[in-house]
Structure 1
Amino acid sequence: MPRTGCDPGRARRRFPAGAAAVPVPKPIQENPLNTAVVSEAVPVVLLLGVLVFAVVRPRGLPEAAAAVPAAALAVALGTVSPDAAWEQVRSLLPVVGFLALILVLAHLCARDGLFDAAGALVARRYGSSPRRLLGGVFLLACAVTAVLSLDATVVLLTPVVLATAARAGAVARPHLYATAHLANSASLLLPVSNLTNLLAFTASGLTFTRFAVLMALPWLVSIAVEYAVFRRFFRADLAAPAAPEAVPEAVAGPAVPRFTLVVLGLTLAGFAVTSPFGIEPAWAALGGVLVLGGRALLRRRAGVRELVGAASPLFCLFVLALGVVVQAVVAGGLADGLARVLPSGDSLPALLGVAAVAAVLANLINNLPAVLALLPLAAPAGPGPVLAVLIGVNLGPNLTYVGSLATLLWRRILRDRGIAVDLGRFTRLGLIAVPATLVAATVALWASLRVAGV
């Protein structure tokens, strides 16, 4: 007779009396919610933690103290693969190396007295009234930012402008705020003017000269609009007469270091000459550093440790680590979200939309992570959208302190000198200046692209 069902005896042998039946374990299934939390939320938390640390800098610790562990944790958690992390670092290395050379070059120019001489010259020629002095500060800050990067303007020029305003007997506030704003808005012109420019320059496929030609009109227009806003916003400070005892024409400032100025000019020319031949502009920067640095070492005016420190190796490490963290955020879903809101094409409305998205993102997560996230999305559409991203991430940070690391550094420099920065005034100025400069510069970019046939 065929056996149907189970044998009671066998059942009793398998499960003795009084013992609970052991359930058959089910296959473990991965919770998609947990995966989403790790891949999307954790990288965002890491990025925000790094940015907050960079703003606060507890105990004066460098930004890399938070960025490097965050990058390592992102790799360890699998939110970014080791191969993707290394590829991000490898792609950033040439840009970061170029940045280090520019920082050393700016330090050597400052050591030779170029900034002090320029500040004294501005005081003599433009110090007869606060309004004229503002124009002189604008000219000086624009030149320094374009040629030696926004870091030189914030770190090296801000103290000079403070001394220049005191020498001219003018209220310092408009001139100091100008160094903060122009460190961002006057950095549109050359690839060397800003780290964001170096990244955009690499993504655009343009030569050094072509980049400068396309950005010349947006640069000029944004500065002109910024100047008009400053004249209006600070009209009370600029109307105050200079102190009677201040006679700028009688002040004999330091002599202009001609050798340094010539080397700087040749280095800038080298950027333009080498690029069309496929030679990285970093070689021209290296040449300028070797000449001025070798001269300083031979004359015992500087040491090797000082020059290495001028390259800000910890800040360079911070940039590399931040790139890995941003890569994890992008892979976790930010890229998909940005792709849905980022306009396509190079029409005027599209470029305005790209610049607006970039400006908003810069104020939310800082301009460096913003440009790292947006460039891969904008680059396939050509240089127009890439340069529109650049306009957004360079001009947008003038709205908030956290939009740019340079603005945070500017605030810290003034605080160390006992000068308080009014958050309300900074924000009100930004609410006027940022939309006006953003629209004007983007329209100018669209016109430049049409004229150049790009």
Structure 2
Amino acid sequence: MRTVAVSVVLIALSAIAVLTGLLPVSDVVHLWGRVWPILLFVTAITVVAELAAAAGVFTALARQVARGGRGRAWLLWLLVVAVAAISTVFLSLDTTAVLLTPVVVVLARQVGLNPLPFALTTVWMANTGSLLLPISNLTNLLAQQAMGDLPPAQFVALMWAAALVAMVLPMAVVFLLSRRSLLARYEPAARGRSSDPVLFWTTVAVLIVLIPLLVSGIPVWMPSTAAALVLAVAFLARQRTAVRLGLVPWRLLLFAAALFLFVAALQSAGLGAVLGRIAGQGESPLALLRLSLTGMLSANAVDNLPAYLALEPVAGSPVRLAALLIGVNVGPLITPWASLATLLWHQRLTAMDAGIRWRRYILLGAVVAPVTVVASTLALALTA
């Protein structure tokens, strides 16, 4: 409800800006032209992920991971890291933070391990692992547009080194912090079966077809929408109750739309000029660090989405946009509100009685985020 209330306030303020002429209607129309494909993709991929979870795909994946760990907690954890990375890269950070987190918590409890290292892995990987592909994060899709609809292969060529550093460093910290529990042994969980094999294998087939299409260069809203429709039809035929309006992330969509409008209004009021002086110019390593750290601080002050939108005009070139993405994607590890995925992750943990105290989360993030942002930005500067 807090998200809805904040969204309503932001929309009201944006409406006042439009009515007073501060935010021209033409700017709103232009903004809508940019964001509707992105919002449609977010809706479709969320529906796909929710139905995949209902079909038991993530649970089956967890069982496979548990067996693959061969009784060694460190190997099990590395497999969870790999699954979280793949989930983030190909299905977006929200899928990892929201849907994979309950799976890994249940997995850890089933084999008698401390669930917190696994839960911390999912939320950190969800944020820091979201640099590699345009579909990995909403900010990436916006940046891809600003780069002139850069093809996915070229986006990867620009981001791969920074993405690799951003994924490895936080995971190394998780291992060091939890090395005692991760060096233990466990008994693999018993095998299980899907309640509806037809739905399970239909969903697996849809995902196998969908993932390559998401990186093919086709506008991502097209294959994701088609996949959501196919799965919805399959579930209507075999498990009708799973298809409900609640599958659509209404609060997330409202919040994103409100942020888009509000930041556009702030830009019209002169925010861009102020941020331009703070973020600086140029593509030297120091200039890129200045921009990425500005993005990190802005994301933790408000949220990564408005931080990106506010700083996008002062980025300019693909390399500077990449540095900005490092700041707003990798940087939101400190405050709870820096990333909506983090808030949703914490809600899932609390519901499962496996919550982590925000004080501890903030202290850990305050150490990990700046180091990772700096290292990833330097990797970008060396390879761009």
Contact 1:124/1:251 (8 A) holds in 2: no
Match of 2:225 in 1: 286
Q: How does 1:377-396 map to 2 (within 5 A)?
A: 377-378=314-315, 380=316, 382-396=317-331
State the distance in 2 between where 1:110 and 1:63 align.
Answer: 29
Q: Distance in 2 between matches of 1:302 and 1:285?
A: 22
The one-letter code sitting in structure 1 at the alignment partner of 2:37 is P
Match runs of 1:47-196 below 5 Å: 57-58=1-2, 61=4, 64-126=7-69, 128-196=71-139
**CA separation in 1, counterparts of 2:215 and 2:126?**
22
Q: 1:270 is matched with which residue? A: 213
Q: Mean Cα displacement is larger for which, 73-82 or 335-344? A: 73-82
Report if aligned partners of 2:11, 2:261 keep a CA contact under 8 Å in 1: no
CA RMSD of superposed structures (Å): 2.2
User: Residue 196 of structure 1: CA displacement?
Assistant: 1.2
Is 1:370 the counterpart of 2:310 in the alignment?
no
Counterpart pick for 1:341 among 278, 284, 290 = 278
Shift of 1:121: 1.3
Question: Structure 1-normalised TM-score?
Answer: 0.78
Structure of larger gyration radius = 1
- Local SS of the residue matching 2:330: helix
Distance 1:163-1:360 versus aligned 2 partners, 3 A rule:
same
Aligned to 1:247, which of 173, 187, 197? Answer: 187
Gaps of 5+ in 1: 1-56, 450-454
- Give the superposition deviation at 1:303: 5.9
Match of 2:344 in 1: 409
Residue aligning to 1:208: 152
Alpha-carbon distance in 2 for matches of 1:89, 1:271: 22
Residues 208 and 271 of structure 1 are in contact (CA less than 8 Å); yes or no, is this contact kept in structure 2? no
Residues 395 and 324 from structure 1, CA distance in 2 versus in 1: closer, same or farther, beyond 3 angstroms?
same
Structure 2: distance between partners of 1:160 and 1:136: 13
Paired letter, 2:43: A
2:171 alignment partner AA: Y
Percent of paired sites with the same residue: 35
Residue 62 of structure 1: CA displacement?
A: 6.3
Greater alpha carbon shift after TM alignment, 218-227 vs 171-180: 218-227
TM-score by length of 2: 0.91
Answering whether residue 301 of structure 2 is matched by residue 357 of structure 1, we say no
After superposition, where does 1:395-434 map in structure 2 within 5 Å? 395-434=330-369
Residue-by-residue CA offset, 1:134-181 (whole Å, 9 max, x unaligned): 212211111111111111112111110110100121111111111111
SS at match of 1:399: coil
In structure 2, the CA distance between the partners of 1:127 and 1:332, relative to structure 1 (3 Å rule), is farther
Structure 2 alignment gaps of length 5 or more = none
Q: For 1:127 and 1:363, how far apart are their aligned partners in 2?
A: 39
Partner of 1:316: 253
Tell me, in whole angstroms, the C-alpha distance in 2 between the residues paired with 1:414 and 1:300: 27
SS class of match (1:251): coil
Displacement after TM superposition at 1:79 (Å): 3.6
Higher mean C-alpha displacement, 76-85 vs 384-393: 76-85
The letter for the 2-side match of 1:427 is I
Q: Residues 280 and 290 of structure 2 are in contact (CA less than 8 Å); yes or no, is this contact kept in structure 1?
A: yes
